[in-house]
Amino acid sequence: MKSTGLFFVSLAALLVGTLATLPVHAEEITLAVAANFTAPMKLLAAEFEKDSGHKVVASYGSTGKFYAQIKNGAPFQILLAADDEIPAKLVKENMGVGGSQFTYAVGKLVLWSAKPGLVDSAGAVLKKGDFAHLALADPKLAPYGAAGLETLKALGIYEALQPKLVTAENVTQAFQFVSSGNAELGFVALSQVLKDGRIEGSSWLVPENLYTQIRKDAVILEPGKGRAAVEALMKFLKGDKAKAIIKSFGYAF
């Protein structure tokens, strides 16, 4: 009987210790996340949930469409945008919390082809023009598309290649055009083509002095203001564990 009593005491102590590591009130956090950040966000969410006990409910899509939904009252608590302009706009329009905006990642532009050997490591294939189609996300809507356009203009070859440009709605679609072979090559995000530290096909990592830095900013939205779980997730995204995960997907800071 004595040993049985000790067992229950030990079990009770274990339960108390376990409960002490969990938040007093586990909360559900609603996020709007740029589509091209889907893979890292799923991993980040899993790690955060494991560490905090809170639940992350993420929607993935176009930052521009999320902006429209937020203006119409969508109850997102955090926006992880594809750029830094929409978060700033939301703060200015009193739909984002002032002082909460920060850059969670910096995107890198890459010229990529699913075909090995087509794209050389210096990007000279662009000047040769030995291809029929070059995919590019809509420069008016997508930061990677704008960066690709800047690159072509900086190299002085935009006019020559303009007839070969295939404009996609976003960088995800631009990647699909190239991966399916509908375009031989295209400007995409490094994070889309980097797998386990290597890139299949052929690629040129575009020098960062050829385009405006692609800053991806996060901001707390009004429905998330003052919520402990929301603040905890934003703090997690700034921490070393999150940065290591984000960096592994080809992003910088």
The pLDDT tens digits of the residues spanning 191-242 come to 999 988 899 999 999 999 999 999 999 999 999 999 999 999 999 999 999 9
Asked whether residue 23 carries a pLDDT value surpassing 80, the answer given is no
State the pLDDT at residue 17. 52
Q: Which CATH code, of 3.40.50.720, 3.30.450.20, 2.70.150.10, 3.40.190.10, is assigned to 2-106+215-248? A: 3.40.190.10
Per residue in 178-192, pLDDT (tens digit) is 999 999 999 999 999
Looking at the domain that runs over 109-205, which CATH code has it been given?
A: 3.40.190.10
Reported residue count of the chain is 253
Tell me which residue has tokens 């926006």. 79
Q: Using the 8-state DSSP alphabet, how is residue 66 labeled?
A: H
Could you tell me the two tokens for 144?
């990677």
Cα-based torsion angle of the residue sequence 58, 64, 65, 67 in order, rounded to the nearest 10 degrees = 80
State the Cα–Cα distance between residues 39 and 35, nearest whole angstrom. Answer: 9
Sign of the Cα pseudo-torsion (220, 223, 226, 228, in order): negative
- Delimiting residues of CATH 3.40.190.10 domain(s) in the chain: 2-106+215-248, 109-205
Burial class (CB in 10 A: 0-12, 13-18, 19+), 253: exposed
The residue ranges of DSSP E strands in the chain, in sequence order, are 28-34, 55-61, 78-80, 102-107, 109-113, 134-137, 165-168, 185-189, 194-195, 198-199, 202-205, 214-220
Mean pLDDT of the chain: 92
Which amino acid type is present at position 74?
A
Asked whether residue 141 carries a pLDDT value surpassing 50, the answer given is yes
